[in-house]
Amino acid sequence: MGPVELPAWLQPRYRKNAYLFIYYLIQFCGHSWIFTNMTVRFFSFGKDSMVDTFYAIGLVMRLCQSISLLELLHIYVGIESDHLLPRFLQLTERIIILFVVITSQEEVQEKYVVCVLFIFWNLLDMVRYTYSMLSVIGISYAVLTWLSQTLWMPIYPLCVLAEGMYFTYSHLYSERRDVVRVFPIKKKKM
């Protein structure tokens, strides 16, 4: 008996591509689930669905954003050929907004801006991960390439606007909470 030949996708030169394909597929599925869930909830419940967006999909959103930290390792090790600094800044911004700001303030989690921000993030990520997943296996669609290269241009400024609105809400609610602590409201006994 001679040496056992491995399937093509398990050979060393294909392991990296198989790993990246699976990683992009997992991220695409997560972000697609979030986007689909938000869309179905909006068409089912209308504006009421926007209020509890964070409660409905916050866990999966935090999971997808946590997994996306692997991309920094991919770039550092050389698995991906992106630039480290822009990706680091984008991930840091999202992690801080999601884990530090949104998760810590329940009063602001119910604002429409959280739903809008999640829609923008997931729309960008669904296109990006679809494009990356297909490029790893050598498939290229002109429309998808165009979307991947141009969709961020109108959406990033809208994300910055939504994040600015969110920080404004967050600041106003934290100031209100501080004022209420300093001047507690006493209830009258009857």
CA angle 151, 155, 157 (to 5 degrees): 135
* For range 150-176, the mean pLDDT: 76
Segments forming the whole domain that contains residue 176: 8-182
The reply to whether the predicted model has a pTM over 0.75 is yes
Residue 188 maps to a domain: no
56-68: pLDDT as tens digits: 999 999 999 999 9
68-109: pLDDT as tens digits: 999 999 999 998 888 999 999 999 999 998 998 888 888 778
Q: How far is CA 42 from CA 39, 68, 71, 120, 133, in A?
A: 5, 26, 31, 15, 28
Residue 53: the pLDDT is: 87
Residue 189 maps to a domain: no
The C-alpha atoms of residue 20 and residue 12 are separated, in whole angstroms, by 13
Residue 67 maps to a domain: yes
Residue 117 maps to a domain: yes
Residue 2 maps to a domain: no
Helices (runs of H) and strands (runs of E) counted in the chain? 9, 0
Looking at the structure of the chain, the number of domains it has is 1
Residue 77 maps to a domain: yes
Residue 136 in contact with residue 182, Cβ under 8 Å?
A: no
- Catalytic residues, which ones? 156, 163
